[in-house]
Amino acid sequence: EDQVTQSPEALRLQEGESSSLNCSYTVSGLRGLFWYRQDPGKGPEFLFTLYSAGEEKEKERLKATLTKKESFLHITAPKPEDSATYLCAGTQGGSEKLVFGKGTKLTVNP
């Protein structure tokens, strides 16, 4: 069964303290690995798509990387406004559904 597992479930950081979120997947024939950010009471907001091992993408303080078994979301010098739940999801070739992990709730304290 296709699965996406995120760790840790929750992470508290001080402003400026860099860290990484992990997303491991067992999606056979992975087509795309997606990262989303979700704020309370809102729908997920798209961040990145990664398609092949070794690929990296950056946006402001965030950098997403992909290996054959997992993806990392690196957060450099986070700010309180980066506080949110970060979700990763995978898609399988021939399937149009996203399989989501349960997310990592990130809190950045000033």
Partner 1 sequence: KAGVTQTPRYLIKTRGQQVTLSCSPISGHRSVSWYQQTPGQGLQFLFEYFSETQRNKGNFPGRFSGRQFSNSRSEMNVSTLELGDSALYLCASTVGSSSYNEQFFGPGTRLTVL
Say how far apart CA 44 and CA 35 lie, in whole Å: 9
State the nearest-atom distance from the C-beta of 102 to partner 1, in Å: 4
Q: Does 104 bind partner 1 (CB under 8 A)?
A: no
- Which CB, 40 or 110, lies closer to partner 1? 40
Among residues 71, 78, 68, the alpha carbon closest in space to that of 56 is found at 71
Q: Count Cβ atoms within 10 A of the Cβ of residue 109 and give its class: 0-12 exposed, 13-18 middle, 19 or more buried.
A: exposed
Q: Does 11 bind partner 1 (CB under 8 A)?
A: no
Q: Which of 31, 59, 69, 79 binds partner 1 (CB under 8 A)?
A: 31
State the nearest-atom distance from the C-beta of 73 to partner 1, in Å: 15
Q: Does 59 bind partner 1 (CB under 8 A)?
A: no
Contact status, residue 33 vs residue 98, Cβ threshold 8 Å: no
Contact status, residue 65 vs residue 56, Cβ threshold 8 Å: yes
Q: Which of 14, 68, 96, 110 binds partner 1 (CB under 8 A)?
A: 96
